[in-house]
Amino acid sequence: MEIYLVGGCVRDQLLGLPTKDKDWVVVGASPTQMIDQGFRSVGKDFPVFLHPKTQEEYALARTERKTAPGHKGFAIHASPDVTLEQDLARRDLTINAIAQAPDGTLIDPYHGQQDLNNKILRHVSPAFSEDPVRVLRIARFAARFNFTIADETKVLIQNMVTANELTHLVPERVWQELSKALTTDQPSLFFTTLRDAGALQSLFPEVDRLFGVPQVPKWHPEIDTGIHVMMVIDQAAKLSQDIAVIFAALCHDLGKGTTPIDILPHHNGHEARSIELTERLCQRLRVPKDIHQLAVKVAQYHTHMHLLMELKPKTILNVIEALDAFRRPQQFAQYLLASEADFRGRPGYEDADMPNAEVFQRCYEVSKAIDVKPILSAGYKGKAISEILTQQRTNAIDQLMKNVKQQRKN
């Protein structure tokens, strides 16, 4: 029996990154031998065991053979005669196919260390194409490590797209990879890598359509909407590690990909389409409810942030109420972050402060500070209570906005 450390743990060690879970492969052992040594069997699809003391996972060396579409369509062969090199050969990328012996010796039959040094993502074997989720994973690694995909691997991915292999992806796996990619330092690389490999249109057509679409002229006509959205999600990742904020930033302008060019200069002609496409994307990927709701709200109301100084006090209050800010202040804070990322997602504005975000926050605070108790004490009942409360909140916002405008004028 020989035991080796494998996979992401070895890769991250070589990159000088902190390591989390350790994965081990066992060569030359049978399930019976593992159990006899105190390991506990937990594998359903293939032999995996938990160490009796560390509870780390130890998998028997195995090979895989594709038998049906989808990520479960594999025949697994695990036996003492499977070699370490055979086990490593079934892995997705060369950088993930490096093993480490107990004495620290590295076993690297597919030159993963060389690819690490050159910042290249390369498939180990043609078996890469047997699991379409690997296309998402390789794009996520590109975003995480700022690596590029090898030319021959791009060709393999393009062949997978042509063969409709990506249609076999289940929503949960797409969302799992997307949500991980959104929390990298530069999530735009996930999408631009997929686009460069010819896979973005198949996986995220709503995003792919944004490239080549002009931005609103009064903003920055030198970049198209696709580039703008990529800049926005990178800014969102700098402002927050909250997946909901970054996903909302991704979705905020989706409607521009299907809105006629002559409507776009009016700046808000795409909002209804953005809401519709965000709803479809969230339903298709089965996005968690709270993330889904925020994305729709940001798609609907992000332009109100930019136009805040032009809005009527009642309109500002309507947006605050539509965001359910009084009951869910966290959602309002997320909206402000996503809108600020939108503001910063333009050349020259990457490090700029967004004054309107602070003003919008103050509008929320002064309206929230209005106490309903005096209204109740005055004897108002039923609908009159909400009407007076709304009027007092509107007046508070009106006074604040007048003060802000006067300060900016001075």
Residue 135 lies in a domain: no
Is the model's pLDDT at 68 over the cut of 80? Answer: no
Domain of residue 111, residue span: 1-118
**pLDDT for 264:** 47
What letter represents residue 352's amino acid? Answer: A
Using a pLDDT cut of 70, give the percent of the chain over it.
Answer: 93
Burial class (CB in 10 A: 0-12, 13-18, 19+), 212: exposed
Residue 197 lies in a domain: no
Please tell me whether residues 247 and 108 are part of one structural domain: no
DSSP conformational letter for 58: E
Q: What is the pTM of this model?
A: 0.89
**pLDDT for 66:** 59
Distances (CA, A) of 355 to 217, 248, 361: 22, 21, 10
Give the pLDDT mean for 280-291. 97
Residue 201 lies in a domain: no
Please tell me whether residues 251 and 113 are part of one structural domain: no
Burial class (CB in 10 A: 0-12, 13-18, 19+), 377: exposed
**pLDDT for 72:** 56
CATH number of 17's domain: 3.30.460.10
Is the model's pLDDT at 117 over the cut of 70? Answer: yes
Residue 123 lies in a domain: no
Residue 182 lies in a domain: no
Among 85, 100, 118, give the residue marking a domain's end: 118
Q: State both tokens at 71.
A: 């990520």
Average pLDDT over the chain, rounded to an integer:
91
Please tell me whether residues 266 and 404 are part of one structural domain: yes
Is the model's pLDDT at 406 over the cut of 80? Answer: yes
Whether 254 contacts 273, CB under 8 Å: yes
Express each pLDDT in 140-190 by its tens digit: 999 999 999 999 999 999 999 999 999 989 999 999 999 999 999 999 999
Express each pLDDT in 127-142 by its tens digit: 999 899 999 999 999 9
Residue 388 lies in a domain: yes
Tally of domains in the chain: 2
Please tell me whether residues 245 and 112 are part of one structural domain: no
Among 97, 118, 139, give the residue marking a domain's end: 118
> What's the rounded Cα separation, in Å, for the pair 97 and 99?
7
Whether 87 contacts 27, CB under 8 Å: yes
Q: What are phi and psi of 372, to 5 degrees?
A: -80, -15
Residue 358 lies in a domain: yes
Express each pLDDT in 348-389 by its tens digit: 889 988 899 999 999 999 999 999 899 888 888 889 999 999
Confidence of residue 266 (pLDDT cuts 50, 70, 90): very low
Please tell me whether residues 110 and 255 are part of one structural domain: no
Specify the higher pLDDT residue, 224 or 217: 224
**Helix then strand then coil, % of the chain, to nearest 5:** 55, 10, 35
What letter represents residue 89's amino acid? Answer: A
**Which range among 46-50, 76-80, 235-239, 250-254 shows the weakest confidence by mean pLDDT?**
76-80
Give the pLDDT mean for 296-301. 96
Express each pLDDT in 202-221 by its tens digit: 999 999 999 988 876 555 66
Is the model's pLDDT at 18 over the cut of 60? Answer: yes
> What's the rounded Cα separation, in Å, for the pair 41 and 46?
10
Specify the higher pLDDT residue, 348 or 199: 199
Among 118, 145, 160, give the residue marking a domain's end: 118
Please tell me whether residues 254 and 397 are part of one structural domain: yes
Residue 89 lies in a domain: yes
**pLDDT for 380:** 87
Is the model's pLDDT at 13 over the cut of 70? Answer: yes
Q: Residue 63: helix, strand or coil by DSSP? A: strand
Is the model's pLDDT at 257 over the cut of 90? Answer: no
**Which range among 40-44, 164-168, 174-178, 300-304 shows the weakest confidence by mean pLDDT?**
40-44
Tracing tokens 């798609």 back to the chain, one arrives at: 299
Specify the higher pLDDT residue, 234 or 273: 234
**pLDDT for 223:** 80
